[in-house]
Chains A and B, each alone.
Chain A
Amino acid sequence: MNTTAPQSAYFIDTQKQEINTHTLAVVAENQPGVLARIIGLFAGRGYNIDSLTVSETEHEKHVSRFTIVTSGTEKVVAQIKAQLDRMVLVHSVADLTVQGNFMARELAMVKVCGEGDKRVEALRLADAFRARVIDASTDSFVFELTGKPDKVDQFISLMVPLGLVEVARTGVAAISRGPEGMKG
């Protein structure tokens, strides 16, 4: 018997288990308090939220879709899904990471302020990343960029030496590839 293992009346998991990132899609009734209940679940049970986006996706049915990026051991992620799924106002939960083959995209607005070469370089990089200029003044740009989170991260880090002022990001929206739709 392993004597260094947790000696606990409670479950204290000190064993090193691999922590993975999972992207979950959650379809729920768009009613007051649903967002609070979902966030409260994560806060109350000590789960991680790396990113959360939500919007009503079917206005007539008052149904919202959440995309939640979370991380944890397999056991914790399984609990997160089960806890979400048993909520009264949640229709269905899909683990896009486990299902595989999904797309995740994020929108960022990036304000860059600079003159001369830096300004030209910022514009050139924006073009390479297919970012659009959505506002410009004589010494600033606001770029709009859509892409995978790591692409957005990379663009932002490139803008830092070129006069990055401010960033707004939406968080990730995700959907599976192919003809299958999510139930609920």
Chain B
Amino acid sequence: MAAAENEMMTGAEMVLRALADHGVKHVFGYPGGAVLPIYDEFFQQDKVKHILVRHEQGATHMAEGYARSTGKCGVALATSGPGATNCVTGLTDAMLDSIPMLLITGQVPTHLIGSDAFQECDTVGITRPCTKQNWLVKDVNDLSRILHEAFYVAMTGRPGPVVVDIPKDVQFATGKYVGPEGIIVKSYQPKTQPDDKAIAAAIALIAGAKKPLFYTGGGVINSGDKASTLLREFVALTGIPITSTLMGLGAYPASGPEWLGMLGMHGTYEANMAMHDCDVMINVGARFDDRITGRLDAFAPNSKKIHIDIDPSSINKVVRVAVPIIADVAAALEAMIALWKKNQNKLDQAALSAWKKQIASWQAVDCLKYRRNKDVIMPQYAVERLYELTKDMDTYITTEVGQHQMWAAQFYRFEKPNRWMTSGGLGTMGYGLPAAVGVQAAHPKSLVIDIAGDASVQMTMQEFSTAIQYKLPIKIFILNNQYMGMVRQWQQLLHGNRMSESYSEALPDFVKLAEAYGGVGFRCDKPDELDGMIKKMIASPHPVLFDCRVANLANCFPMIPSGKAHNEMLLGENVTDEQVGTAIDAKGKQLV
């Protein structure tokens, strides 16, 4: 490694060298004129494996899935112009969900920049708002340092996507390679250790709580395994009930005694009611997203809030908190546990048991129950069965965006972190299939399932071909209701049941489609055949499209209608058509 210091090589060689020095095993990319020198280097080495995608958006979601399931930085590669612009959705997705990703793009030669050359676009300009940082490399002698800085910026603090744009002449030029050791970004030193006073204030607040609640998010996952372990320890130590955002599922096990299920717009009744009524809220690595808070002026009105976040700009952005703790989640939890033990703190047990009794009464509502059907597969039933048949296996789940995503979050029960890959912040339909490819590349022996919808999956369906090429046996489990279900659900709630353009007409035959790609297709429309078919899917060594025909008009409940508070949920089984039609008032209709 030390021999790398000051070695002379071309820019393209530096790219491959830097990737290898950072331990990158897989790059998801697509060639083109402005990255040919880098592709030539791929051809001449075997340390870094290149996975050829079918569309650059797919490469970015694969890198995201790879990153989310491993805790490492995902790497994507695209050419200039359309290659770069096709990556914008994936970059924005990674930005909103704080996923570490490096995108390397080719650029036209420096002397042509600004001349509207063939396949030229202002990549750093276009990607500026959707990256944590980006660089246009104009001198080959800056390239290795910038690549190391890019990894550092992507991985530290609040993780996020970065772009390094490399003109073709810089890829050909020869310069000095410097190794990754000792690279720092002077202006960027994120604070990871908590302030002692803040920890003391938080512990004092928790110790005096009568109705405390943990509200955890994706920050726990991003912080690493240690954060999840510490979270479990702290919950066990205090006996405080816990709920999580969509992004944080798996940090605390769904089988854990204090688990209330996911909260938010399609969260459980008990989680949302507990949020509304708690007196001390401990936000661990979540950001008070609007899908979580519902109506802000009625959000947890009687609570004092503690907020652990590594990003100071998340503090008091949406909700004012009593005790902000700016730190890495693991560092903050470690300090809190240590102080809790040192003080020999104990919650008021009478109050806690009254609080749990109250929660048990909400749990008794059984908010996720749905009407079973002997003839038609209910989508909830499909996810339940998928969970039961895969829970003891080494399973990773990705999703697209829509009703199926919420059913997956409600009915698939996660025991470990990094097992759940979904597009939360941006809500990108088409995320799940390529993300599954990325996850499978990182975990070739594991079972990787994309719980998909019939509409979403068609947005990036071409990446099924990538899975075939690299023998990545992903399972695409499509809850096919022939609708953009969530769009339709909102049209029913907001727009007088006028289902404008939300019917999936002319759906492909997914079984034939799978076969056309060279994969395996299954179709199931009978509840009593479902288990057998799911077992067949699991047993298949090939990529599978599973066309699971589910009840067409089922809707996703429980739900906090937009403009309403946590304690104004619509519950599933008993919702009448009239309630659906009047659930959202005129003001709520303006929202999304």
State yes or no: do A and B come from one complex.
Answer: yes
CB-CB under 8 A from B585, the residues of chain A are: 7
Query: Is B133 on the interface with A (CB-CB < 8 A)?
Result: yes
In the assembled complex, the Cα of A28 lies from the Cα of B133 at a distance in Å of 14
Partner of A29, one of B187, B291, B562: B187
Those of B287-344 within 8 Å (CB) of chain A? 290-291, 293-298, 311-313, 315-318
Those of A73-102 within 8 Å (CB) of chain B? 75, 78-79, 82-83, 85-86, 88-91
User: What is the CB-to-nearest-CB distance from B263 to chain A, in angstroms, rounded to a whole number?
Assistant: 14
In the assembled complex, the Cα of A171 lies from the Cα of B132 at a distance in Å of 29
Q: Could you count the A-B residue pairs with CB atoms below 8 Å apart for me: how many are there?
A: 81
User: What is the CB-to-nearest-CB distance from B35 to chain A, in angstroms, rounded to a whole number?
Assistant: 21
In the assembled complex, the Cα of A6 lies from the Cα of B295 at a distance in Å of 8
Q: Mark A8-32, 1 if CB is under 8 A from B, else 0.
A: 1111000000000000000011001
Query: Is A33 on the interface with B (CB-CB < 8 A)?
Result: yes
A9 and B290 form a contact (CB under 8 A):
yes
Query: Is B350 on the interface with A (CB-CB < 8 A)?
Result: no
Decide: A9 near B591, CB < 8 A? Known: A40-B128, A89-B188, A91-B187.
Answer: yes
Query: Is B588 on the interface with A (CB-CB < 8 A)?
Result: yes
Decide: A37 near B128, CB < 8 A? Known: A1-B298, A7-B563, A75-B316.
Answer: yes
Query: Is B197 on the interface with A (CB-CB < 8 A)?
Result: no
A10 and B312 form a contact (CB under 8 A):
no
Query: Is B478 on the interface with A (CB-CB < 8 A)?
Result: no
CB-CB under 8 A from B186, the residues of chain A are: 29, 91
Query: Is B256 on the interface with A (CB-CB < 8 A)?
Result: no
In the assembled complex, the Cα of A90 lies from the Cα of B153 at a distance in Å of 13
User: What is the CB-to-nearest-CB distance from A149 to chain B, in angstroms, rounded to a whole number?
Assistant: 29
CB-CB under 8 A from A6, the residues of chain B are: 295-297
The chain B residue sitting closest to A39, CB to CB, is: B128
In the assembled complex, the Cα of A83 lies from the Cα of B318 at a distance in Å of 14
CB-CB under 8 A from A85, the residues of chain B are: 312-313
Interface residues on A, range: 20 to 34
B296 and A83 form a contact (CB under 8 A):
no
A1 and B297 form a contact (CB under 8 A):
yes
Those of B569-591 within 8 Å (CB) of chain A? 585, 587-588, 591
Partner of B312, one of A11, A44, A86, A88: A86
B563 and A9 form a contact (CB under 8 A):
yes
User: What is the CB-to-nearest-CB distance from B113 to chain A, in angstroms, rounded to a whole number?
Assistant: 12
CB-CB under 8 A from A8, the residues of chain B are: 290, 295-296, 562-563, 587, 591
Query: Is A168 on the interface with B (CB-CB < 8 A)?
Result: no
The chain B residue sitting closest to A84, CB to CB, is: B313
The chain B residue sitting closest to A34, CB to CB, is: B187
B136 and A32 form a contact (CB under 8 A):
yes
Query: Is B539 on the interface with A (CB-CB < 8 A)?
Result: no
Query: Is A2 on the interface with B (CB-CB < 8 A)?
Result: yes
Query: Is A128 on the interface with B (CB-CB < 8 A)?
Result: no
User: What is the CB-to-nearest-CB distance from A76 to chain B, in angstroms, rounded to a whole number?
Assistant: 10
User: What is the CB-to-nearest-CB distance from A93 to chain B, in angstroms, rounded to a whole number?
Assistant: 11
User: What is the CB-to-nearest-CB distance from B304 to chain A, in angstroms, rounded to a whole number?
Assistant: 19
Partner of B296, one of A11, A32, A75: A11
CB-CB under 8 A from A75, the residues of chain B are: 316
CB-CB under 8 A from B541, the residues of chain A are: none
The chain A residue sitting closest to B162, CB to CB, is: A88
Q: Mark B264-290, 1 if CB is under 8 A from A, else 0.
A: 010000000000000000000000001
Interface centre among B128, B134, B265, B298 (most CB of A within 10 A): B128
CB-CB under 8 A from B564, the residues of chain A are: 7
In the assembled complex, the Cα of A7 lies from the Cα of B128 at a distance in Å of 33
User: What is the CB-to-nearest-CB distance from B181 to chain A, in angstroms, rounded to a whole number?
Assistant: 20
A9 and B313 form a contact (CB under 8 A):
no
In the assembled complex, the Cα of A89 lies from the Cα of B132 at a distance in Å of 10
User: What is the CB-to-nearest-CB distance from B126 to chain A, in angstroms, rounded to a whole number?
Assistant: 11
CB-CB under 8 A from A91, the residues of chain B are: 186-187
In the assembled complex, the Cα of A17 lies from the Cα of B19 at a distance in Å of 50
Query: Is B82 on the interface with A (CB-CB < 8 A)?
Result: no
Decide: A78 near B316, CB < 8 A? Known: A8-B563, A88-B153.
Answer: yes
CB-defined A-B contacts under 8 Å, sample of 30: A2-B297, A7-B295, A7-B563, A7-B585, A7-B588, A8-B290, A8-B562, A9-B265, A9-B290, A9-B293, A9-B294, A9-B562, A10-B290, A10-B591, A10-B592, A11-B290, A36-B125, A40-B129, A44-B129, A78-B316, A82-B313, A82-B317, A85-B313, A86-B311, A86-B313, A88-B132, A88-B153, A89-B133, A89-B187, A91-B187
3 shortest interchain CB distances as A-B pairs: A82-B313, A7-B563, A9-B562
